[in-house]
Structure 1
Amino acid sequence: MSPPPRPRWQKPVGMLAIVAMIVLWCVAIASLSRWIGQWPEIVQLLFYVAAGVAWLWLLPMRRMLSWMETGRWRR
């Protein structure tokens, strides 16, 4: 019987980093609300949907999750 795996420090650090990135992204987008609020509602909706999807590409989520699992920053 093999010993249980040792806890990895990458998982809690990665989770905190992901939460921090989400908070920073939300603050950045919300800081634009003064100008975005003047746009027509449909344009606002499209902007917020695009911003919600775009953070997945702008922030290195796939690499972060891979690093949390393996300890290597993969491309």
Structure 2
Amino acid sequence: MPPRLRKLIGTVLIIILVVVYALVATTVASLTLATSPWWVHMLYFFFTGLLWILPAMLIIKWMEKAPRRRD
């Protein structure tokens, strides 16, 4: 796969990941943390704010993978 196409696909995947992840994280928070104290909200959004980085790192790693050499 050409590097430019791989980067385009990876960029679109990261944008989709961030939008879907934010919607899911906010929905879960509003359904489960309604009566929780403020510090529980802070911890939840701190950890969910960092958790999306793991799948994004995998996508970026795939995007930057060297193309196969044709021998």
Is the pair's TM-score, using the shorter chain for normalization, greater than 0.5?
Answer: yes
Aligned residues: 65
The aligned residue for residue 24 of structure 1 is 20
Question: TM-score, structure 1 length as denominator?
Answer: 0.71
The one-letter amino acid of 1:45's match is M
Cα 1:46–1:20 shift into 2, 3 Å: same
Question: Any gaps of 5 or more consecutive residues in structure 1?
Answer: 1-5
The aligned residue for residue 55 of structure 1 is 52
Between 32-41 and 45-54, report the one with greater CA deviation: 32-41
The aligned residue for residue 41 of structure 2 is 44
Question: TM-score, structure 2 length as denominator?
Answer: 0.74
Per-residue Cα deviation, 1:9-68 (whole angstroms, up to 9, x for no partner): 0111100100100111111111121331321001111110011112223x2x22311221
Question: Any gaps of 5 or more consecutive residues in structure 2?
Answer: none
The share of aligned pairs that are identical, in percent, is 23
Higher share of residues assigned helix = 2
The one-letter amino acid of 2:61's match is S
Cα 1:7–1:71 shift into 2, 3 Å: closer
Tell me the C-alpha RMSD between the 2 structures: 2.0
User: Would you say the 8 A contact 2:3–2:63 is kept in 1?
Assistant: no
Find the aligned partners of 1:23 and 1:71 in 2 and give their Cα distance. Answer: 28
The one-letter amino acid of 1:19's match is I
